[in-house]
């Protein structure tokens, strides 16, 4: 069985596709990478919120799944829209890396807790809004592009630090540049941050499906991410909305899901926690979303949509 793996061509995307490739290899499945450019890679002069449509990093890969040019598409799970078309689905999530954001800089003395003012490069509405909420002394500089491009901008002094997902920084081998790990309880990450997802067309044969799931899927991560993605789906939000959610396994083998919304100006932040059995993870996500909407999240969302 030979698998054609579709991936974006950024270094992080290729690393992730090669990671899936090695998991398949361990089970005796050979594979090759097919590099595909997406709108998110090509349009670099506008923020993701402005490009607007969900799936800016995924659409072209999904087109190739449909034509059968590739068998599976590998994505950062975070980049996948919460509502997939009915002819496509995610069959596997890799074991999640630590999900937190990290501060990356050449200056080891920088810290968000110092109260000192400095410039952080980020294009994420969630990170900008959370910084306004927790660290109003920080200024943000809009910064798109892949990890290498952002590091170059850091070195060109366009900002003093970057705020990034630990997972991507670690995968690229930049751990040495991490000057601070942000606490999950405050800087709760984006839905699905830290895991890699395998997406396929529903037409892919059952046998291949089963084998890929067996070799790649991490069941606890999957239960957590299905809860988080159900939360995001209920809010009808893509990665451009400043929402956040993190599900964790508890010692009692239940799932505890914390998540919410933050206003673009950072003034309002709504957060709540729901727990339940892993089999009910979509329900947990849905309940959390309902609670957030009922506590003022509905008005907040309207306001966010009007300003993006
Ligand atoms: N939208 C960009 C993106 N998508 C996934 C990751 C990091 C890897 C991951 O979360 O698995 C990143 C970069 C970042 O947010 O710093």
Beta strands 243-249 and 255-262 are antiparallel
At 47 the pLDDT is: 63
Can you list the residues of the chain whose pLDDT is less than 50?
A: none
Written as one string, the DSSP assignment of 247-275 is EEE-TTS-EEEEEEEE-TTSS-EEEEEEE
Nearest to 70 by CA among 3, 169, 164: 3
The number of the ligand 1 atom at minimal distance from the alpha carbon of 165 is 16
Burial of 117 (0-12, 13-18, 19+ CB in 10 A): exposed
Q: Nearest 5 degrees, angle CA 54-CA 172-CA 180?
A: 90
Whose alpha carbon is nearest atom 6 of ligand 1? 168
ipTM > 0.90 (yes/no): yes
At 258 the pLDDT is: 98
At 99 the pLDDT is: 98
At 56 the pLDDT is: 78
CA of 270 to the centre of ligand 1 (A): 23
Helices (H), 95-236: 125-134, 147-155, 166-171, 206-216, 219-235
Q: Nearest 5 degrees, angle CA 299-CA 239-CA 4?
A: 150
CA of 252 to the centre of ligand 1 (A): 30
At 132 the pLDDT is: 98
CA of 193 to the centre of ligand 1 (A): 7
At 31 the pLDDT is: 98
Select from 16, 61, 76 the residue to mutate for testing ligand 1; criterion: most ligand atoms less than 8 Å from CB. 76
The neighbouring-strand residues paired with 180 are 103
Domains, the chain, ranges and CATH? 1-94+195-217 (3.40.190.10), 101-181 (3.40.190.10), 219-308 (3.30.160.40)
């Amino acid at each position: 069985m030979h698998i054609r793996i579709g991936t974006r061509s950024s270094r992080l995307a290729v690393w992730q596709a090669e990671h899936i490739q090695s998991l398949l290899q361990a089970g005796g499945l050979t594979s090759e990478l097919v590099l595909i450019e997406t709108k998110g890679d090509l349009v670099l002069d506008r923020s993701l919120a402005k490009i607007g449509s969900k799936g800016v990093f995924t659409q072209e890969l999904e087109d190739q799944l449909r034509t059968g040019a590739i068998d599976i598409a590998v994505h950062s799970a975070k980049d996948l829209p919460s509502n997939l078309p009915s002819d496509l689905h995610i069959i596997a999530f890799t074991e999640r890396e630590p999900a937190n954001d990290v501060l990356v800089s050449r200056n080891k003395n920088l810290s968000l807790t110092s109260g000192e003012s400095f410039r952080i490069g980020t294009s994420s509405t969630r990170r900008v809004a959370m910084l306004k909420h927790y660290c109003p002394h920080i200024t943000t500089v809009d910064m798109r592009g892949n990890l290498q491009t952002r590091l170059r901008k850091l070195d060109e002094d366009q900002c003093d630090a970057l705020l990034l997902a630990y997972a991507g920084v670690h995968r690229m081998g930049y751990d040495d540049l991490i000057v601070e790990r942000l606490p999950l309880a405050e800087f709760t990450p984006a839905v699905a941050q830290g895991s890699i997802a395998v997406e396929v067309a529903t037409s892919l044969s059952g046998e291949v499906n089963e084998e890929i799931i067996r070799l790649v899927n991490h069941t606890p991560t999957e239960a957590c991410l299905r809860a988080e993605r159900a939360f995001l789906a209920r809010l009808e939000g893509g990665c451009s909305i400043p929402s956040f959610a993190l599900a964790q396994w508890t010692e009692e083998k239940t799932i505890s899901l914390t998540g919410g919304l933050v206003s673009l100006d950072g003034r309002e932040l709504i957060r709540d926690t729901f727990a339940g059995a892993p089999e009910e993870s979509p329900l947990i996500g849905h309940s959390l979303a309902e609670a957030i909407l009922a506590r003022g999240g509905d008005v907040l969302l309207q306001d966010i949509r009007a300003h993006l």
